A and B are shown apart, each in its own frame.
Chain A
Amino acid sequence: MALCRAAPRGLTAAQVIAVISVISVGCGPDASDDGARSGRHAADGDRRILEVWTPESGSRLQMVQQRADQFSAARPDVKISFTVRDFGSYPAQLKLALASDSAPDVVIGNLGWSLDGPLIKAGLLRPLDPWAARYGWDKRFPEVAQRQMRFTVDGKHFGRGAIFGIPYAADVIGWFYNVDKLEKLGDGVPATLGELESDFETARRTGEVPIMLGNKPQWPGLHLFYLVSCDLASDREINGIVFGDRSVQWTDPGFVESARMLARWNASGYIADGVNSMSPADALARFVRGAGVFLPAGSWNAAELSAAMGDDVAFFLMPPVRKGDPRRATGSVGYGWHITATSGQADLAAEFIDFMTQEAFAIQLAAGGDISPLPIDDAVPRAPSRLAGEIFAAWQSVLANGTLLPYLDFSAPNGAEVIYPTMQSIIAGQVEARQGLELIEQSRKEFLDSQ
């Protein structure tokens, strides 16, 4: 048969497999990415090109790009080339890009173990101390923000060591509330945890939903836990969990009490029905439509809320246990700017980072309704809405008082597998608080041991 004879006689199956394997390996992650050109010798005519990666979106991305345009205007010999990736897939894509032969020069990371930790461990980012001294980065930011910028050079300890990331924007978790509805409850803005709880009870009795929350992706429940633990756990406990202090555990009394309080809130009917199947976007939409007195959430929701509700929505930080005590809040100085290890134009990259993190940009962010790690005197009058002004004032107080606390899930990289679902089970009353926290502590211990 003709077909048979056409087969190349000498070719064995093993050879075929070998050839195909080589082809398929060539298609693997090592192969160069489409858009990423080499930052090392990149040039566009006479202009040098600085390759920059970011996961930002919306108004913040716009402000970052506008600021970068101002940099290019001041340095006409430099072109900033942005690569924007969506937040969800950014960590995986950035890891591939930095491990490739054509890594960008400047990248935005993410605090803690989700992104910065692995990148530093792999030697893909540079310690920024030489430039920090030159540009005064080590003094520019408040002490409380400094810690989130640091990592040991081996990538094994978060919160100390070299400066690796320079922050430019910030976020804080607090309570948004429906101004009308809270007024009708009659007690004014709660000044203590006790007053907040009694507002929940009054709201429930009058047929309102006290706490609007969408916990389908499971992390929003932990945000509720941040709020309560700011009151019931100590600075030492919260910082200790995040920065790897083994003398502190998730099963410490402050955390157990916080977890029990959330379970009690849920059992008392303070949290919206259907919380576990509702997305945060749905919860926000319901809140906008007038369901729910309080919405526990991050400051990044402010623009959307004030656009939809105007002055009918306002914001406060977690009220303290004792009236008049300074308010503590969970938040971060956002993600930092990093210089990649392979960038051949690190000095230029540092100059760019300095420009992107100066007070002038902090003022631009404030005018855009966003918050930054720098204290600004007249930020509140600049704010584009009442809500943005309130958030800015709250944020400034946290910076000034040194009462900013880090996100507890920076403690280990497996939030999605252990911390979030367990916290959801605790809140729902499926797992007793202490038992659940033991499970979370066990996974944290395993992570610390593996470091």
Chain B
Amino acid sequence: MTARGRRALPYLYLLPAFLFFVPFVLVPFAHTVGLSFYDWDGLTRAAFTGLGNYREAFGSALVRSAFGHAFVLIFFFGVLPVLLALPLAVSSVNASIPGGNALRTLIFLPQAISTVVVGVSWGWILALDGPLNAGLHAFGLDWAAVDWLGSFTWALPSLGIVGTWTLTGLCVALFFAGLQQIPGSLYDAAAVDGAGRLREFLAVTLPGLKGLIAVALTVTVISALRAFDLVFVTTRGGPGTETVVPGILIYRRAFEDGRLGSAAAIAVILSIVVFAVTLLINRIADRNAP
């Protein structure tokens, strides 16, 4: 093979994916970026507004609060599932309990259910007269039974918990796979050095899982930032504007209000935030790589 052929080879491998990536991702994205500089209702001639849509977006309290809500969801969709999944995965990999595989499947199951089904089910669970509140009443905790999804205080955290429930299983599955890649000799060495359970976790398990934690955070954080379907099915952004997220604004402006340029600008900002956050996660993971 010639030197030129060798250089071309990796690109050739990329070509099939690229053939799909260009028309279905790159071109539409470029189209969206272009649209974001125009004032367009989808019908009449678009008027060039330069950065007008971006100025409007940054100046709008509603748009800012939508991104604020998305960052709250990052905690519930990303941070919390990772914190919960670590001990779950570590304890289940060591313990050989009967039905362990079935248990792991169960934990992963929410990930396999369509978000719309998850939303409808949780809407029922969290209803004022739903099973959650029935349980609270049964324990005499009447004061704790609130209209979860209709409450200006609790609607966003409630959606967050639904996200935690959905994504914890994914993190457990990832970490479980990662744990089996850590050489047993490292644990033996740690034991010889007299490490306790906690020490062993901090010195062997955690560094061994670093890459997968980054993967889990990347996937979950992206799903928090682009959350739309769950919100659309359960609260539609309400009550008030308490659960409005960027995806809801993009949908409304593009398909209901006929403000495609503004919707495109928010979409571009959202994409940039997603890029930035995932880059940050991976940078941190790389820097701390063993």
Q: Which residues of A contact B (CB under 8 A)?
A: 1, 3-5, 7, 16-17, 20-21, 23-25, 91-92, 95, 98-99, 114, 118-119, 121-122, 124, 216-218, 273-278, 413-414, 416-418, 421-422, 424-425, 428, 430-431
Given A24-B24, A416-B257: A118 touches B43 (CB 8 Å cut-off): yes
Q: A122-B41, A431-B240 are in contact. List 5 more A-B contacts (CB 8 A).
A: A114-B256, A216-B150, A277-B148, A417-B252, A421-B244
Q: Mark B135-170, 1 if CB is under 8 A from A, else 0.
A: 000000000000111111000000000000000000
Check if B235 is an interface residue, CB within 8 A of chain A: yes
Which residues of chain A come closer than 8 Å to B152, judged between CB atoms? 425, 428, 430
Q: Mark B1-39, 1 if CB is under 8 A from A, else 0.
A: 100010011001000001100111001100000000000
Q: Mark B253-272, 1 if CB is under 8 A from A, else 0.
A: 10111100000000000000
Instruction: Choose from A16, A114, A425 the contact partner of B239 (Cβ within 8 Å).
Output: A425
A124 to B44, CA, bound (A): 10
Which of B18, B235, B257 gathers the greatest number of chain A CB atoms within 10 Å?
A: B257
Which residues of chain B come closer than 8 Å to A25, judged between CB atoms? 27
Which residues of chain B come closer than 8 Å to A118, judged between CB atoms? 41-44, 258
Nearest-neighbour CB distance to chain A for B237, whole angstroms, equals 7
Check if B219 is an interface residue, CB within 8 A of chain A: no
Q: Could you tell me if B19 and A20 are in contact, using CB atoms closer than 8 angstroms?
A: yes
Instruction: Choose from A98, A278, A425 the contact partner of B150 (Cβ within 8 Å).
Output: A278
Q: Could you tell me if A21 and B43 are in contact, using CB atoms closer than 8 angstroms?
A: no
Q: Could you tell me if A417 and B253 are in contact, using CB atoms closer than 8 angstroms?
A: yes
Q: Could you tell me if A416 and B127 are in contact, using CB atoms closer than 8 angstroms?
A: no
Interface size range of chain B in the complex: 35 or more
Q: Could you tell me if A216 and B236 are in contact, using CB atoms closer than 8 angstroms?
A: yes
- Closest A-chain residue to B30, C-beta based? A21
Nearest-neighbour CB distance to chain B for A89, whole angstroms, equals 8
Q: Could you tell me if A92 and B255 are in contact, using CB atoms closer than 8 angstroms?
A: yes
Q: Which residues of B contact A (CB under 8 A)?
A: 1, 5, 8-9, 12, 18-19, 22-24, 27-28, 41-44, 62, 123, 126-129, 147-152, 235-241, 244, 249, 252-253, 255-258
- Closest B-chain residue to A6, C-beta based? B12
Q: Could you tell me if A274 and B147 are in contact, using CB atoms closer than 8 angstroms?
A: yes
A307 to B22, CA, bound (A): 55
Q: Could you tell me if B240 and A428 are in contact, using CB atoms closer than 8 angstroms?
A: yes
Given A7-B12, A20-B19, A218-B236: A277 touches B127 (CB 8 Å cut-off): yes
Which residues of chain B come closer than 8 Å to A278, judged between CB atoms? 128, 150
Nearest-neighbour CB distance to chain A for B31, whole angstroms, equals 9
A114 to B255, CA, bound (A): 10
- Closest A-chain residue to B126, C-beta based? A277
A99 to B148, CA, bound (A): 44
Q: Could you tell me if B127 and A274 are in contact, using CB atoms closer than 8 angstroms?
A: yes
A1 to B9, CA, bound (A): 9
Q: Could you tell me if A417 and B249 are in contact, using CB atoms closer than 8 angstroms?
A: yes
- Closest A-chain residue to B11, C-beta based? A13
Q: Could you tell me if A417 and B127 are in contact, using CB atoms closer than 8 angstroms?
A: no
